[in-house]
Structure 1
Amino acid sequence: MKDQHAPTVDRAKFADPDRTADGAPRAKVRLERLRTLWINTGTLCNITCANCYIESSPVNDRLAYIRLDEVVAYLDEIAGEGLPVKEIGFTGGEPFMNPEIIEMLEEALVRGFEVLVLTNAMRPMMRPRLQAGLRMLGTRFGPRLTLRVSLDHYTPALHDAERGAGSFDRALEGMHWLAREGLRMSVAGRSIWGESEAQARAGYAALFEAEGLGIDAFDPAQLVIFPEMDANADVPEITEACWGILGKSPGEVMCASARMVVKRKGAEHPVVVACTLLPYDPRFEMGRTLAEAGGAVALNHPHCAKFCVLGGASCSA
């Protein structure tokens, strides 16, 4: 949850794409190789979380449902330009609310991509039509399809504090269904509650073992624990000098290898943005096509610092 007493971010920060507030050269990240293309399926969601970075809810349609033909156009561009994309990720909102989600997943899988879907594993995914579609995709494509379930904490109380009463049990129901169907599954947790990563992984491990889910909580690919994001928190800006100070490479940051497609409400066509974390900020809109979105990304947003550089996180598999 947001801390009501957190310091207010210095608005002089993250304003100039070229310079930080103290005049230092701002860090920028060039696209080295486009490995992951994210598709935002729309911001509508079946629940409202206490702190959702994209503000998904049953009424937020700022990002409209993207259509199958629009997704196909980007997959065609990947093929036509010989882009080195290996993974197509689908996020929302809740992707299983998009009426064409099964067809979009199938199109990506038929073309040979690894496909990752971020889901809360609740009622939208559990509708009979969606279950039948996922069962079909699992049979045809096996482990090339992964569903990453959002389970904010390994205890019902803390998960439900974020996502609403009963959410934990409904998510577990969906996870048990995925396990029974043999569909590949991973989990995304959050580091909100002051636990160490070791403590969190041990807690998830106990849950997964008790529930017989077959997920290795100590494998970072099977359990991703994301740093919390709060655009109002006062976080440091990332300068060019920070790479050496932190011992990091720009190539480790998500925007060195990923882009996301979004369709804004009322827009005639989708556009490409720098990453999954910044769907609304016009400074991170990069063009209509993947070819237009190949420029460098200035790290002039708190999420760039907190989540990607200092947090070392990436949404990709």
Structure 2
Amino acid sequence: MNALAPRLDPAKFRDPWTTAKGEQRAEVALQSLDTLWFNTGTLCNLTCRNCYIESSPRNDRLAYLTAAEVAEYLDEIQRDNLGTRLIGFTGGEPFMNPELPAMLADVLERGFEAMVLTNAMKPMHKMKPALLALRARHGERLTIRVSLDHYGMALHEAERGARTWQPTLDGLVWLARNGFAVHVAGRRFSGEPEDALRDGYARLFADNGVPIDAHDPVTLVLFPEMDATVDVPEITVACWGILNKSPDSVMCASSRMVIKRKAQAHPAVVACTLLPYDAQFELGRTLADASGAVRLNHPHCAKFCVLGGAACSRS
């Protein structure tokens, strides 16, 4: 935590219906399930300094999903004509889940678009043959988004750890050279203006022959830093008008995430990719169960989505 930042008022984000000031808390209705995320498990080959989901080689709070479990949700989408466009896979490191290639093949063969979030390191390289086969069969309907936290090695490794820069850059270059649709996710922790960050990434991509437009907010997404202990305003119903922002623009208006808690018999659907551990954001076992509104009762709702304007999907 930044020692200069004010600590979160403990009276905030306690009541799902009202704020600490007694105002009506904002909520977001699901307009359409454009994107469904699957958390393939929280195990990761890295332990990052500030991981949104606390992934590590030892964190197995979210178990590996199976291809059969993923298929059940794809069946529900198709049976109920939910109109879902994009199926995303996040972790942990998704390529550590041995059934990821089977999941991707099922998704793509059903006609969905697919996106995998990865650090592009050793677990991904072990699945190169499967990836190349999927690329040959399905082309640009498969997107790989690589986490590259800064355009310079020093700050990337300050977040990810020593000797993580070159393997990730090598993985990114391999994907680009083999014709994959590639995006990059960076972070804003350096304090640089956004234009300076994008210019830095543009130089890196040009130097390495990576055909990504660094000034496109879809192909290079820059996430705000998250710290749930830092003070942030609560979002009230009145905030939509004050901020000139529509609730439909917030991530939970168009997406959900499937997780499987350790030792649980069945997966569950949660409101978004950022809040897998908070029970108030677990919405049910099926997509139909999870179709209700989400009350913005967490600092991440305010900092990341409403005030930060961030989203995990491609649009």
Give the alignment's TM-score, normalised by structure 2: 0.99
Q: Deviations over 1:230-284 (max 9, x none)?
A: 1111000000000000000000000000000000000000000000000000000
Aligned-partner SS, 2:187: strand
Q: SS at 1:39's partner residue?
A: strand
Where does residue 24 of structure 2 map in the other structure? 25
2:92 maps to 1:114:
no
Query: Aligned partners of 2:214 and 2:16: how far apart in 1?
Result: 38
Structure 2: gaps spanning 5 or more residues: none
Q: For residue 125 of structure 2, what is the aligned residue in structure 1?
A: 126
SS of the residue 1:292 aligns to: coil
Pick from 164, 169, 175: which aligns with 2:166?
Answer: 169
Provide the residue aligned with 2:203 in structure 1.
206
Q: In 2, distance between residues paired with 1:261 and 1:300?
A: 20
Amino acid aligned to 2:91: G
Distance in 1 between the 2:41 and 2:236 partners?
33
Instruction: Give, as a single letter, the amino acid of the residue that structure 1 aligns with 2:65.
Output: I
Report the alpha carbon displacement of residue 166 of structure 1 after superposing the two structures with TM: 1.3
Match of residue 248 from structure 2? 251
Q: Match of 2:35, as an amino acid?
A: T
Counterpart CA distance in 2 for 1:263 and 1:238 is 29
Correspondence list, 1:146-165, <5 A = 146-165=143-162
SS at match of 2:252: helix
Kindly provide the amino acid, as one letter, of the partner of residue 109 in structure 1.
L
Q: Secondary structure at the match of 1:286?
A: strand
CA distance, structure 2, for counterparts of residue 171 and residue 114 of structure 1: 24
Q: Which residue of 2 aligns with 1:262?
A: 259
Equivalent residue number for residue 72 of structure 1: 71
What do residues 87-135 of structure 1 show as CA deviations (whole Å, max 9, x unaligned)?
A: 00000000000010000011000011110110000010011xx000000
Q: Which residue identity lines up with residue 133 of structure 1 in the other structure? A: A
1:3 positional shift? 2.3
Secondary structure (helix, strand or coil) at the match of 1:204 reads helix
Structure 1: 5+ residue stretches without partners: none
Q: Give, in whole Å, the separation in 2 of the partners of 1:89 and 1:243.
A: 28
Residue equivalent to 2:280:
283
Letter in 1 for 2:173: H
Aligned length: 314
Residue of structure 1 equivalent to 2:231: 234
Distance 2:10 2:117 in 1: 32
Name the residue aligned to 2:59: 60
Matched, 1:181 2:178: yes
Q: Report deviation, 1:311.
A: 0.5
Structure-1-length-normalised TM-score:
0.98
RMSD: 0.7
Q: CA deviation at 1:9?
A: 1.2
CA offset digits 1:117-167 (Å, max 9, x no partner): 10000010011xx00000000000000000000000000000000001111
Letter in 2 for 1:26: R
Verify: 1:218 aligned to 2:219, yes or no. no
1:7 Cα offset (Å): 2.7
How far the C-alpha of 1:10 sits from its partner, in A, is 1.3
Query: CA–CA distance in 2 between the matches of 1:12 and 1:193?
Result: 30
- 2:229 aligns to what SS in structure 1? coil
Query: How far off its partner does 1:12 sit?
Result: 1.1
Within the candidate set 263, 268, 273, 2:270 is matched to 273
C-alpha deviation, 1:211, in angstroms:
0.9
Structure 2: distance between partners of 1:232 and 1:41: 27
Deviation at 1:43, TM superposition (A): 0.1
Which residue in the other structure is 2:80 paired with?
81
Distance 1:114 1:197 in 2: 29
Q: Percent identity?
A: 64
Secondary structure of residue in 1 paired with 2:289: helix
**2:187 maps to what in 1?**
190
